[in-house]
Amino acid sequence: RRSADGGVTIDPDAFRGFLPEISRATDAVINISTGGSLQNTVEERIRPALTFSPEMCSMNMGSMNFSFHPLAKRYDTWKFDW
């Protein structure tokens, strides 16, 4: 899910806008990702899964490109602020 500025949002309120509709419309297994952005803490990343207790949840705790690695701290200019 994306925020209004195109950035990633993992706010449980954003999920409330579509998860109930998916549940009503299909019997598909719902998988919530623990993704986010470099600015999200682990606690923030798992909040949607803890809030909604989906049938499945992926455990991707950071991008393979940036991870929680010291290398990301070497960059201070990004194309997008998110």
pLDDT tens, 36-65? Answer: 777 788 888 889 999 998 888 887 655 555
Q: What is the pLDDT, as a whole number, of residue 61?
A: 56
Residue 72 included in any domain: no
Residue 26 included in any domain: yes
Residue 31 included in any domain: yes
Q: Residue for token digits 């923030």?
A: 44
State the average pLDDT for the chain: 80
Residue 5 included in any domain: no
What's the domain count of the chain?
1
Residue 50 included in any domain: yes
* Residue 44 neighbours by CB under 8 Å, 6+ apart: 10, 36
Q: Looking at the whole model, is its pTM more than 0.75?
A: no
Closest of 52, 18, 16 to residue 34, by C-alpha:
52
Tell me if 59 sits within 8 A of 34, measured CB to CB. Answer: yes
Range(s) of the domain holding residue 49: 12-64
| Number of C-beta neighbours around residue 34 at 10 A | 19
Long-range contacts of 17-20, Cβ-Cβ distance < 8 Å, separation of 24 or more: 19/52
Residue 79 included in any domain: no
Q: What is the pLDDT, as a whole number, of residue 25?
A: 95
Residue 7 included in any domain: no
